[in-house]
Structure 1
Amino acid sequence: MNTKVKIKISVDILMTITLFVLMCFQYTGNNNHEVAGAAMLILFLVHNILNRNWYKNLFRGKYTAPRMLQTIVDISMLIVMLLQMISGISMSGYVFTFIPFGLRASTARTIHMLCAYAGFLFMSFHIGLHYGMIMTMFKKMLRFQTENKYRIICLRSVAAGIAVYGIYALIKRDFINYITMQIQFAFFDYEEPVIFFVLDYFAIMGTMVFIAYYLQRWLISKNKEVKKRDAGVEH
């Protein structure tokens, strides 16, 4: 594993951890939330610089169904992240007070809340699209030389269990209502132990990773079938 790959992985891990910290507003408080937001902004910029080839190749090559899915998700996530950061900076009363964006407080708050929940789902889905590569990397690190069917069954069962619970947590945490703006203000339970909050959000992320990974696999298999069919017609 070369240095650039190690840096990419480190940045992605830090972004994921920071994402959870940002969602834990009721436990961190406003000032710490802004500091975490500033950290996410820096990590986001570094992530995009490290992956600048994605922008260079955006209009190159053929767009298969798997690539279209990944591109749509990535562009959507980029837009949501930018809106979230602009609205966050606009509302800042601690870190970014020197940057006037001029958004009305109510508008900025609505955008920020909407993008926070949508961004969590998009980033989780984005991780799922790279889940196969992540697992391959961990297999090499842990030196799993051969496939073990019992280990595979066990891991898939755990993943399915997390995904199912994640659907319940998605509803419980009102994600859909926040994203569709049926709820205009964030409501926090300051008495809830942080571990329960984090586990619910981890399960929601697991659900999105699960959906993204298997949807991508299905699209890849369909794309292979189309290629085989086209090759057969040519012959």
Structure 2
Amino acid sequence: MNPVFLLRLALDFLAVGLFVAAMAYWWMDNRSHELIGTGMFALLFLHNIFNRRWYAGFPRTRRQAKPLVTVGLNLTLLVTMVTLLTTSILISQSLFGFLAIGGPDARDIHILAAYWAVIIVSIHLGLHWSIVMNVVRNVIGVRQPRLDRTVLLRLAAAGIAAYGVYSSFELDIGSRLLLIPTMQFWDFNEDTAGFFLRIGSIAGLYSAAGHYGSTALQAFRRGPVAQPTPLRP
């Protein structure tokens, strides 16, 4: 396994971890939130440098379902992250306070972009989940598939997805994605771990949707498997 690729994957997951931590704004002071966000954006900048060849190959994208879905999702993610970064600077109170010219509208857009980023990043991860699983298999030395292990992992994915649906209602994600005012606020003094568990399950829900949706799309594109012609007696 290429150590550079493993390092890149580790940095990507660190960026995801920082993003999840930054979502818990009311759990920390503003300076900590901005430091975490700055670290996340630095890692995202590295991610785009490592994957610069994708941009170079963009004009040659095949006009097929999965490549087009991937391109559309990646471009949407790029716009969302640029929006998140721009509004972060506009409403900064600590690190970039000298550039802060944004008001309540910029703050609302920042929050809106953050919750949409949770969904889009999760789907993006799901589209690349096969690569992640291949790395894990190589690291732990798993060579052959086993039915019992496959069933167990799929049951776990189903459980996480189901809890993600429940958590979406608990955090009123729908209202936040539509920028509708909501009175549901998480009490971090009472249950900090619960918030991360719910955000993690929502990420798991959309990662599973991205992974299995991509798998179904590929199967649909291949079409039915041709049956062998029976031999005549």
Q: Distance in 1 between matches of 2:153 and 2:142?
A: 14
What's the offset of the Cα at 1:187?
A: 3.4
Aligned partner (choices 109, 112, 119) of residue 110 of structure 2 = 112
Structure 2 distance, partners of 1:77, 1:153, is: 32
Distance 1:61 1:76 in 2: 16
For residues 123 and 185 of structure 1, the distance between their equivalents in structure 2, rounded to whole angstroms, comes to 26
CA distance in 2, matches of 1:72, 1:171: 27
User: In 2, Cα distance between the equivalents of 1:188 and 1:196?
Assistant: 9
The equivalent residue for 1:193 is: 191
Change (3 A) 1:84 1:61: closer
C-alpha contact (below 8 Å) 1:113/1:186 kept by paired residues: no
1:233 alignment counterpart? none
User: CA separation in 2, counterparts of 1:54 and 1:187?
Assistant: 39
Name the SS for the 1:108 alignment partner.
helix
TM-score normalised over the length of structure 1: 0.91
* Aligned residue in 2 for 1:137: 135
Corresponding letter in the other structure for 2:15: M
Aligned to 1:27: 27
Instruction: Kindly provide the amino acid, as one letter, of the partner of residue 94 in structure 1.
Output: S
Deviations 1:40-96 (A, max 9, x none): 111111111111111101111412111111111111111011101110111101011
Q: What is the DSSP-based 3-state SS (H/G/I as helix, E as strand, rest coil) of the residue aligned with 2:84?
A: helix
Aligned match of 1:78: 78
Q: Is the Cα–Cα contact under 8 Å of residues 34 and 95 in structure 1 kept in the other structure? A: yes
Structure 2 counterpart of 1:207: 205
Query: CA, structure 1 residues 185+44, in 2 after alignment: closer, same or farther (shift >3 Å)?
Result: farther
**C-alpha separation between the residues in 1 aligned to 2:35 and 2:209?**
32
Show the counterpart of 2:177. 179
Q: Tell me how far 1:192 sits from its aligned partner.
A: 2.9
Deviations 1:142-166 (A, max 9, x none): 1111111111111110110110110
Q: Given the superposition, is the C-alpha separation of residues 185 and 38 from structure 1 closer, same or farther in structure 2, using an over 3 Å criterion?
A: farther
Question: Could you list the per-position Cα deviations for residues 154-206 of structure 1 after superposition, in whole angstroms to 9, with x for gaps in the alignment?
Answer: 11101101101101101211111011111278834232321111111111011
